[in-house]
């Protein structure tokens, strides 16, 4: 397919530009920078594939010189079909119209067919590209392009290979990577390194055990020798410590001895501790005298108290009787108070009894009352008769009430039956039945008829409008017409004739000008005619659409007409309307009226059924009421008989009880209650009588006893009321005498004891006085003062001797020696300073030895502990176990790594072989083009399998990725791939035009020439448009194809190519 | 001659670690650590229970690389118990516990005898006052012992039952380290009645006239040392006829269970099968805990799921949990997946695509074992030529390399074939 012409209405700098006659294989468009090359490229892309979106990276090329955005491109296919593709602004990349040679307009689907389904991305990247697209690999990596270029048809495993390699490598890296410590193998190795050091340390434990064993033996010897030295040193230290401690005693001993020698000879006859004994005896005498004084005072006090305590012996002798009288005085008082009250109560009861007897009748006495049979049986019998009589009377009353009710019911039932008979007669005969199916059909058809009526009106109106629009369009169609071709032919003919005439006269240049002018006018006329034709065709299309619409409306109106008619006929046949004369609009009202009549008939039928049902019910009610009435009358007779029988039995019972025969059972029960009450009163009166007699007896007894006691103690006899106070007073006196008697006995016992103590004290005083005198006489002295003087000297001597003995005792205790004579001799020449000095020396020596021994002990314990630890330690086993664990883990992980490393190796090996054998054909052909383009510097192109990339293969077979090639070579590589792709694309569809925008600028002259050759080759199968701003490119392509048309681009205009000849001329200065 | 009895044990390897267990079996840690010591205690108990006349230990009491003092003292304490029970003991030292490795400060019990190095020593053995046997032995001075020490043994008391005690690789077995190598013939004609050997960890009776016997190690130390381990109880009659009975003393046992996935359709099926296997193994451990390797092999539906690490790890975790609940427990050491896809890889390799090329390439490599190492090791150089790692790793043997290659081909298959 080729682009044969272009019309740009408004696009960037271009406005109202058109160019035709482009349907050649190779074309060159040359222009300065900003002349519009890229704009023209953009225009072709936009018309074929749509305007870029507003947010696209691509330039929008909005019109800057006027005109509507867009234009059209004329295309001619390989089979010679011509198409015009126009694009105007609109939704989704613009409004597209694809018009064929027959003038029919098609939509985008046709364009897609023409373009062989190629995507915009693919066309833009591969077939209509500029330098910027050529310079990057990305444009060859799009999904559709890549699958075509790199790897389709190589099997699923090829597609999965990159992912597989990635996963395998990831697994390997998880296990081992560089020097990082976080990977499993690295971590295990690190841990093993540390562990080996620890194992080495632990493996020396046997040597350590031997060393510790030897060291322990040496330390044991040191301990032994130090222990001996320390014992000796401690002994000396203890010796001087004891001398230091006993030093004060030694000094006391020496001083006591000196003082004794100064006291002179002792008095042999002086009793030992004589002075102390004398002092003790004097002290005792003083104490006895004080005791005697105190006893005397106490005796006087007791005698005085005794004289103040009186005691009444008479009262004391009747203490028991008095206590008894006092105890019973309250009972006496109570009896005294209650006796008259009891007499009054007895009197009152007697009166009540007489009253009850008079109520019962003259025949009733106390004896008759007491003899009456008051058992429960009597009362129950009376109650039984009362209950039977009451029950029968109530029953009779109830039956009589029921009888009255039944009579009333019978009367009401008869009245209701007569009313129901009247209702039935009032309703009359029922109307005839209707055909329900017809009625139902009539109801359903009514709404449909109404809808059809409405729809018919609406469609009729629409049809009328469609008809008028059709008339208008026919008028317009006639006005636009298809136009005549003869003005064009005539213009061309006149111009040709004029040019022939001018040429005939030898004015060839003028003839050419006339011919040129004629052609231009003819072309303009032809363009105008074509525009008219387009408008005419558009009108025609709309006319056809409107005609179709009107026809469709008419058909639907007719259909509705038939529905209406059918319902009208049915209404008439079913009797809903009487005649067919009524208008269509009145039919629904007539039908509704018919429906009303039907509903009234239904109501009447229903009313008659209801009345008849009610009459039947009333008749049945009347019969039932009559039967009930008869039954109740029979019951009444029965009850009356039973009542007469029961009354006769009760009269007999009254006689038997002694009551009057006219007494009712209720009255008889009241009489029984009175008899019961009278019996109770008789019993109460008897109890009062007996209680009065008992009280009288007790009062007399108390009075007698009180009189006897009062006379025995010499007190006057008191009256009845005064007896209790007299007893109280007597009791008070009795308590007083008892208390005084007790105290008097106690005081007399104390008095006797004190007199004994007094006698004893006086005896002791005499004894001590005698002892003191004896003591003084024993010492051979007469006077107590002499005794005391000599006594003090002897006391001093005794103290000094005691102090000396105490000091000696302490010295023995402290030194631990029984015989301390040696010690005394040893101490005699020594001073305390000497002792302290010696002690300090011994202490220092002990401390030193002690410290050394502690060190040895610690060392020994340390060594024993070490030996113990070493002999029980299992460090080495633990570490070895851990090492074995780590080694096992390491081996397993290394195996896992190795498996994956070998898998990676296998894939790489296979890929290399596979790549050599299975390069995609596009890549193979691209390699050939690339090789030619680079003059054999590179052998070909390779696509690593499964990767969407390519690499150049140099003449030695080395692979070089594009990023390592020079910019020019990389562009040549990409160009080769594009050319190869374009060729392959043409196998499946019409070869599309190829457009290249200044792509040779980075090529060296030699490769540019080769590339130009490749472009020329490509143009044998494809239309190729080359845009350039470089004269060298123009020259290069002209060199290869001297007949190449070179279109100029300048200031938003497309300039027609010069003739080769003229171009040659213009190039010549 | 009075009849007598003795026990012949060797290769106690007290405190030696268990190999190949890995950190994934932490539950068994304490049992593993104590197993060698407990096996030795069981040996001492057996001597006392059977009232044997003496015990013979043919070397490798502990590991030279450890020089474990605890092991030395535990050994001394065990012999002291025997001595207290009136049982003599004779010990020679081997390559793992040579003379120089022992502490010089250990006080050996009265009835324990350690044969010195450098010269064969012969000790007479009497029952009551009647001499019945002689025990000759020699220890290694260092762990290097390349010369044939059996040459120094002289049978000079033909009237008595003559026993030779030696740590040696008899018959120069290539599967074991070459220490004091000697030939079977030379022992056969030496004139001794019983050669009590140590070094080989598997129980073996190489010869019965005279007896040339290995008791194997007391406790298996890795999955390679599966099966029962213990010592020989030897009863010698008055007519000098020896009767040997093997006494298992190991405290836990190593086993391998093979399961073919062929008939299994779902992971639940596999789970059930393995649970049954674990129950069986627990019963067959004769009251001992069992460490087991489960090897899954064959072709079947489960191939694909079992190729996923997450699945196998989850299964392993589950089996470990199930196994540990048995009494005695069954500890699952590892799950070895040796399954093949249902697709015939050879046929798949014939296809003209990348995977086909890979499988063909792997097949060609396997077919040329001579160049296998030369061609594949460069791909593994990151590990095996890494000086730091080389300290802990041995390069794979040709057979291991072949297995790795097979695994690698399966990885390629999994990655490339299963993807859409």
Best of A151, A190, A898, A946 to mutate (most B CBs within 10 Å, chain B) = A898
The nearest CA of chain A is from the CA of B410 a distance in Å of 8
Task: Provide, as residue numbers in chain A, all residues whose Cβ is less than 8 Å from the Cβ of B22.
Answer: 885, 888-889, 892
Residue A1056, both tokens: 């027609």
Is there a contact between B409 and A906 if contact means CB atoms under 8 Å apart?
yes
Q: How confident is the model at residue A955 (pLDDT cuts 50, 70, 90)?
A: confident
Q: Which of A176, A199, A876 sits opposite B15 (nearest CB)?
A: A876
pLDDT digits (tens, 9 = 90+) for A773-819: 888 888 888 788 888 888 888 888 888 889 989 999 999 998 888 89
- Assess A156–B contact: CB distance below 8 Å, yes or no: yes
User: Which of A911, A990, A891, A1048 shows the shortest CA–CA distance to A175?
Assistant: A891
Cβ pair A7, A70 in contact under 8 A: no
Whether pLDDT at A1063 is above 50: no
Q: Which of A204, A874, A905 sits opposite B15 (nearest CB)?
A: A874
Whether pLDDT at A537 is above 80: no
Q: Read off the pLDDT of each residue in B24-30 and give the average, rounded to a whole number.
A: 64
pLDDT digits (tens, 9 = 90+) for A394-433: 988 898 888 888 888 888 888 888 888 888 787 777 777 7
The nearest CA of chain B is from the CA of A185 a distance in Å of 9
Q: Could you identify the residue written with the tokens 């976080």?
A: A182
Q: How are beta strands B54-58 and B88-92 bridged, if at all? A: parallel
Q: Is B127 helix (H, G, I), strand (E, B) or coil?
A: strand
pLDDT, position A152: 44
Whether pLDDT at B167 is above 90: yes
pLDDT digits (tens, 9 = 90+) for A458-478: 888 888 888 888 888 887 777
What's the Rg (C-alpha) of chain A? 79
Tell me which residues of chain B, numbers 157 to 176, contact chain A at a CB-CB cutoff of 8 Å. Answer: none
Structural element, H or E, at residue B260: strand B253-260
User: Residue B265: how many CB atoms within 10 A of its CB?
Assistant: 11
- Assess B127–A contact: CB distance below 8 Å, yes or no: no
pLDDT, position A682: 87
Q: Is A1047 helix (H, G, I), strand (E, B) or coil?
A: strand
Cβ pair B55, B46 in contact under 8 A: no
Whether pLDDT at A583 is above 80: no
What gap in Å lies between CA A602 and CA A433, rounded to an integer?
9
Q: Which of A214, A884, A911 sits opposite B17 (nearest CB)?
A: A884
What gap in Å lies between CA A135 and CA A1024, rounded to an integer?
20
pLDDT, position B77: 95
Best of A877, A886, A889 to mutate (most B CBs within 10 Å, chain B) = A877
Is there a contact between A189 and B33 if contact means CB atoms under 8 Å apart?
no
What gap in Å lies between CA A973 and CA A979, rounded to an integer?
10
- Assess A887–B contact: CB distance below 8 Å, yes or no: yes
Task: Provide, as residue numbers in chain B, all residues whose Cβ is less than 8 Å from the Cβ of A878.
Answer: 33
Whether pLDDT at A1068 is above 50: no
Q: Is B56 helix (H, G, I), strand (E, B) or coil?
A: strand
Q: Which of B69, B354, B382 sits opposite A870 (nearest CB)?
A: B69
Is there a contact between A906 and B361 if contact means CB atoms under 8 Å apart?
yes
Determine the residue of chain B that is closest to A164 in CA distance.
B415
Tell me which residues of chain B, numbers 326 to 345, contact chain A at a CB-CB cutoff of 8 Å. Answer: 334
User: Which of B244, B253, B249, B250 shows the shortest CA–CA distance to B205?
Assistant: B244
Whether pLDDT at A868 is above 50: yes
Tell me which residues of chain B, numbers 283 to 322, contact chain A at a CB-CB cutoff of 8 Å. Answer: none
Is there a contact between A189 and B388 if contact means CB atoms under 8 Å apart?
yes
Task: Provide, as residue numbers in chain A, all residues whose Cβ is less than 8 Å from the Cβ of B73.
Answer: 871
* Packing angle, helices A665-712 and A587-657, rounded to 10: 60
Q: How confident is the model at residue A1066 (pLDDT cuts 50, 70, 90)?
A: very low
- Assess A880–B contact: CB distance below 8 Å, yes or no: yes
pLDDT digits (tens, 9 = 90+) for A976-1020: 888 888 888 777 678 889 999 888 888 888 888 888 888 988 898
Q: Which of B104, B411, B419 sits opposite A900 (nearest CB)?
A: B411
Cβ pair B354, A906 in contact under 8 A: no
Cβ pair A275, A795 in contact under 8 A: yes
* Packing angle, helices A205-263 and A184-203, rounded to 10: 50
Q: Name the DSSP class of B161.
A: E
Q: Read off the pLDDT of each residue in B106-131 and give the average, rounded to a whole number.
A: 94
* Highest mean pLDDT of the ranges A160-174, A815-829, B73-87: B73-87
Q: Read off the pLDDT of each residue in A98-116 and give the average, rounded to a whole number.
A: 86
Q: How confident is the model at residue B186 (pLDDT cuts 50, 70, 90)?
A: very high
Residue B255, both tokens: 């086993």
Q: How are beta strands B290-299 and B330-340 bridged, if at all? A: parallel
Q: Read off the pLDDT of each residue in A275-289 and give the average, rounded to a whole number.
A: 87
Q: Which residue has the higher pLDDT, B165 or A589?
A: B165
Q: Read off the pLDDT of each residue in A285-308 and give the average, rounded to a whole number.
A: 85
Q: Which long-range contacts (CB under 8 A, 24 or more apart) does A163-172 make?
A: A163/B415, A163/B419, A164/A907, A164/B412, A164/B415, A164/B416, A164/B419, A165/A904, A165/A907, A167/B415, A168/A900, A168/A903, A168/A904, A168/A907, A168/B411, A168/B415, A169/A904, A171/A896, A171/A900, A172/A897, A172/A900, A172/A901, A172/A904
Task: Provide, as residue numbers in chain A, all residues whose Cβ is less than 8 Å from the Cβ of B103.
Answer: 206, 209-210
Q: Which of B73, B393, B411 sits opposite A871 (nearest CB)?
A: B73
Task: Provide, as residue numbers in chain B, all residues whose Cβ is less than 8 Å from the Cβ of A898.
Answer: 380, 383, 396, 404
Cβ pair B48, B253 in contact under 8 A: no
**ipTM confidence score:** 0.81
Whether pLDDT at A904 is above 80: yes
Is there a contact between A906 and B102 if contact means CB atoms under 8 Å apart?
no
What gap in Å lies between CA B217 and CA A704, rounded to an integer?
130
The nearest CA of chain B is from the CA of A155 a distance in Å of 6
User: Which of A9, A6, A14, A7 shows the shortest CA–CA distance to A1051?
Assistant: A14
Is there a contact between B361 and A913 if contact means CB atoms under 8 Å apart?
yes
pLDDT digits (tens, 9 = 90+) for A718-759: 777 788 888 888 888 888 888 888 888 888 888 888 888 888
pLDDT, position B37: 93
Report pTM. Answer: 0.47
Give the range among A611-615, B109-113, B210-214 with minimum mean pLDDT.
A611-615
Interface A–B counts its CB contacts (< 8 A) at 194
Q: How are beta strands B88-92 and B112-114 bridged, if at all? A: parallel
Best of B98, B358, B387, B396 to mutate (most A CBs within 10 Å, chain A) = B358
Is there a contact between B23 and A898 if contact means CB atoms under 8 Å apart?
no
Task: Provide, as residue numbers in chain B, all residues whose Cβ is less than 8 Å from the Cβ of A155.
Answer: 351, 353-355
What's the Rg (C-alpha) of chain B? 26
Determine the residue of chain A that is closest to B415 in CA distance.
A164
Residue B307, both tokens: 């190729």
pLDDT digits (tens, 9 = 90+) for B320-370: 888 888 888 899 988 888 888 888 888 888 887 788 889 999 999 988 888
End-to-end CA distance of chain B: 84
Residue A984, both tokens: 């392959």
Q: How confident is the model at residue A1061 (pLDDT cuts 50, 70, 90)?
A: very low
Is there a contact between A881 and B33 if contact means CB atoms under 8 Å apart?
yes
What gap in Å lies between CA A973 and CA A951, rounded to an integer?
9
A955 CA to centre of own chain: 70
What gap in Å lies between CA A570 and CA A594, rounded to an integer?
13
- Assess A472–B contact: CB distance below 8 Å, yes or no: no
Give the range among A326-335, A486-495, B386-395 with minimum mean pLDDT.
A486-495
Is there a contact between A899 and B105 if contact means CB atoms under 8 Å apart?
no
Is there a contact between A903 and B389 if contact means CB atoms under 8 Å apart?
no
Q: Tell me the average pLDDT of chain A.
A: 84
pLDDT, position A1064: 44
User: Which of A754, A683, A701 shows the shortest CA–CA distance to A299?
Assistant: A754
């Amino acid at each position: 397919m080729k682009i044969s012409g272009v019309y740009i209405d408004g696009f960037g700098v271009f406005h109202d530009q058109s160019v035709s006659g482009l349907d050649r294989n190779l074309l060159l468009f040359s222009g300065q920078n900003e002349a519009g090359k890229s704009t023209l490229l953009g225009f072709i892309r936009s018309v074929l594939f749509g305007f870029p979106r507003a947010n696209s990276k691509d330039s929008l090329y909005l019109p800057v010189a006027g005109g509507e955005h867009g234009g059209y491109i004329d295309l001619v296919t390989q089979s010679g079909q011509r198409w015009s593709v126009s694009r105007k602004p609109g939704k989704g990349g613009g409004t597209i119209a694809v018009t064929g040679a027959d003038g029919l307009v098609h939509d985008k689907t046709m364009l897609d067919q023409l373009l062989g389904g190629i995507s915009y991305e693919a066309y833009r990247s591969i077939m209509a590209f500029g330098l910027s697209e050529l310079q990057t690999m990305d444009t060859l990596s799009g999904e559709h392009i890549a699958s075509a270029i790199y790897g389709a048809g190589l099997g699923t495993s090829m597609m999965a290979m990159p992912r597989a390699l990635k996963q395998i490598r990831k697994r390997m890296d998880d296990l081992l990577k560089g020097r990082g410590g976080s990977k499993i193998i690295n971590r295990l190795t690190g841990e093993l390194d540390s562990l080996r050091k620890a194992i080495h340390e632990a493996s020396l434990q046997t040597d350590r055990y031997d060393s510790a064993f030897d060291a322990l033996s040496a330390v044991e010897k040191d301990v032994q020798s130090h222990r001996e030295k320390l014992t000796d040193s401690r002994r000396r230290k203890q010796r001087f410590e004891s001398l230091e401690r006993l030093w004060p005693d030694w000094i006391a001993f020496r001083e006591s001895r000196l003082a004794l020698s100064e006291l002179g000879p002792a008095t042999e006859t002086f009793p030992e501790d004589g002075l102390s004994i004398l002092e003790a005896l004097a002290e005792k005498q003083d104490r006895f005298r004080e005791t005697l004084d105190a006893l005397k005072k106490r005796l006087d006090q007791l005698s005085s108290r005794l004289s103040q305590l009186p005691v009444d012996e008479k009262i004391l002798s009747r203490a028991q009787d008095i206590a008894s009288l006092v105890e019973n005085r309250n009972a006496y008082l109570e009896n005294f108070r209650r006796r008259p009250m009891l007499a009054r109560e007895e009197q009152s009861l007697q009166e009540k009894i007489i009253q009850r007897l008079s109520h019962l009748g003259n025949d009733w006495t106390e004896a008759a009352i007491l003899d009456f049979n008051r058992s429960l049986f009597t009362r129950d019998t009376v109650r039984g008769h009362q209950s039977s009589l009451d029950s029968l009377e109530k029953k009779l009353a109830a039956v009589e009430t029921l009888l009255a009710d039944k009579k009333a019911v019978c009367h009401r039932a008869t009245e209701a039956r007569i009313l129901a008979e009247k209702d039935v007669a009032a309703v009359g005969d029922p109307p005839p039945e209707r055909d329900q199916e017809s009625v139902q059909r009539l109801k359903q058809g009514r709404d449909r008829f109404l809808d059809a009526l409405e729809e018919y009106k609406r469609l009729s109106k629409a049809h009328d409008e469609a008809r008028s629009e059709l008339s208008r369009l026919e008028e317009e169609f006639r006005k636009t017409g298809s136009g005549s071709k003869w003005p064009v032919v005539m213009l061309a003919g006149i111009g040709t004739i004029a040019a022939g005439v001018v040429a005939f006269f030898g004015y060839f240049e003028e003839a050419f000008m006339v011919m040129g002018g004629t052609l231009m006018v003819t072309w303009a006329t032809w363009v105008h005619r074509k525009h008219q034709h387009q408008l005419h065709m558009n009108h025609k299309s709309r006319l056809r659409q409107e005609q179709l619409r009107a026809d469709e409306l008419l058909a639907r109106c007719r259909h509705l007409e038939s529905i209406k008619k059918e319902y009208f006929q049915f209404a008439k046949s079913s009797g809903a309307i009487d005649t067919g004369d009524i208008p269509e609009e009145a039919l629904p009202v007539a039908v509704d009226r018919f429906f009303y009549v039907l509903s009234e008939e239904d109501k009447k039928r229903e009313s008659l059924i209801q009345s008849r049902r009610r009459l039947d019910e009333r008749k049945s009610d009347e019969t039932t009421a009559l039967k009930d009435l008869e039954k109740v009358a029979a019951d009444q007779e029965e009850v009356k008989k039973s009542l007469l029988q029961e009354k006769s039995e009760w009269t007999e019972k009254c006689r038997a009880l002694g009551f009057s025969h006219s007494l009712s059972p209720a009255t008889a029960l009241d009489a029984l209650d009175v008899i019961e009450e009278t019996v109770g009163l008789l019993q109460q009166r008897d109890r009062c009588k007996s209680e009065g007699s008992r009280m009288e007896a007790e009062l007399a007894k108390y009075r007698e006893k009180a009189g006897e006691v009062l006379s025995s103690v010499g007190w006057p006899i008191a009256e009845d009321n005064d007896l209790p106070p007299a007893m109280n007073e007597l009791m008070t006196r009795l308590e007083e005498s008892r208390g005084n008697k007790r105290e008097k006995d106690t005081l007399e016992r104390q008095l006797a004891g004190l007199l004994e103590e007094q006698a004893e004290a006086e005896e002791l005083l005499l004894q001590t006085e005698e002892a003191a005198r004896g003591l003084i006489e024993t010492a051979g002295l007469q006077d107590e003062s002499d005794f005391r003087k000599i006594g003090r000297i002897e006391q001093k001597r005794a103290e000094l001797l005691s102090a000396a003995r105490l000091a000696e005792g302490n010295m023995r205790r402290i030194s631990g020696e029984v015989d301390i004579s040696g010690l005394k001799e040893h101490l005699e020449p020594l001073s305390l300073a000497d002792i302290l000095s010696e002690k300090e020396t011994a202490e220092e020596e002990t401390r030193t030895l002690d410290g050394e021994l502690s060190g040895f002990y610690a060392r020994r314990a340390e060594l024993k502990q070490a030996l113990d630890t070493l002999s029980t330690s299992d460090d080495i086993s633990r570490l070895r176990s851990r090492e074995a664990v780590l080694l096992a883990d390491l081996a397993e992980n290394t195996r896992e790594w190795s498996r994956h490393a070998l898998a990676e190796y296998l894939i790489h090996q296979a890929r290399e072989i596979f790549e050599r054998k299975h390069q995609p054909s596009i890549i193979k052909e691209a390699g050939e083009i690339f090789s030619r383009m680079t003059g054999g510097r590179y052998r070909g192109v390779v696509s690593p399998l499964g990767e969407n990339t390519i690499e150049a293969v140099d003449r030695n077979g080395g692979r070089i990725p594009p990023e390592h090639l020079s910019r020019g070579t990389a562009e040549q590589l990409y160009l080769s791939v594009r050319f190869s792709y374009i060729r392959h694309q043409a196998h499946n569809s019409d070869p599309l035009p190829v457009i290249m925008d200044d792509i040779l600028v980075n090529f060296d002259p030699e490769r540019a020439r080769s590339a130009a050759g490749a472009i020329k080759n490509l143009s044998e199968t494809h239309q190729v448009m080359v845009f350039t701003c470089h004269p060298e490119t123009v020259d290069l392509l002209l060199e290869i194809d001297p007949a190449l048309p070179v279109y100029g681009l300048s200031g938003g205009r497309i300039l027609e190519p010069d003739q080769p000849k003229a171009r040659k001329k213009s190039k010549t200065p | 001659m009075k009849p007598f009895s003795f026990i012949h044990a060797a290769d106690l390897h007290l405190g030696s670690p268990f190999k190949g267990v890995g950190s994934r079996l932490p539950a068994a840690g304490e049992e593993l650590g104590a197993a060698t010591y407990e096996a030795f205690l069981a040996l001492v108990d057996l001597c006392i229970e059977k009232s044997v006349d003496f015990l013979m230990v043919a070397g490798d009491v502990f590991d030279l690389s450890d020089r474990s003092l605890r092991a030395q003292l535990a050994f001394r304490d065990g012999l002291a118990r025997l001595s207290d029970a009136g049982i003599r003991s004779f010990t020679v030292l081997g390559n793992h516990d040579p003379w120089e490795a022992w502490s010089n400060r250990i006080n050996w019990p009265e009835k324990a005898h350690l044969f010195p190095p450098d010269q064969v020593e012969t000790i007479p053995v009497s029952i009551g006052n009647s001499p019945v046997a002689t025990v000759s032995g020699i220890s290694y001075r260092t762990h290097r012992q390349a010369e044939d020490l059996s040459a120094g043994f002289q049978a000079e008391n033909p009237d008595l039952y003559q026993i030779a005690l030696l740590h040696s690789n008899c018959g120069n077995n290539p599967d074991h380290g070459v220490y004091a190598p000697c030939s079977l013939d030379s022992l056969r004609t030496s004139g001794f009645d019983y050669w009590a050997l140590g070094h080989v960890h598997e129980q073996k009776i190489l010869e019965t006239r005279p007896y040339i016997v290995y008791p194997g190690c007391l406790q298996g130390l890795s999955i390679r040392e599966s099966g029962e381990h213990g010592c020989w109880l030897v009863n010698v009659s008055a007519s000098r006829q020896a009767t040997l009975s093997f006494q298992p003393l190991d405290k836990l046992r190593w086993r391998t269970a093979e399961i073919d996935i062929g008939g299994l359709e779902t992971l639940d099926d596999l789970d059930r099968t393995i649970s049954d296997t674990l129950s069986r193994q627990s019963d067959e451990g004769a009251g001992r805990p069992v460490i087991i390797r489960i090897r899954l092999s064959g072709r079947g539906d489960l191939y694909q799921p079992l190729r996923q690490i997450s699945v196998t790890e989850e299964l392993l975790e589950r089996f470990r949990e199930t196994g540990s609940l048995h009494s005695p427990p069954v500890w699952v050491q590892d799950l070895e997946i040796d399954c093949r896809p249902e697709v015939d890889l050879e046929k798949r390799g014939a296809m003209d695509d990348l995977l086909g090329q890979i499988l063909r390439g792997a097949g060609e490599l396997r077919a040329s074992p001579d160049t296998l190492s030369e061609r594949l090791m460069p791909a593994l150089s990151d590990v095996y030529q890494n000086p730091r790692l080389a300290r802990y790793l041995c390069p794979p043997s040709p057979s291991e390399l072949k297995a790795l290659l097979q695994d690698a081909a399966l990885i390629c298959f999994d990655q490339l074939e299963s993807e859409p």
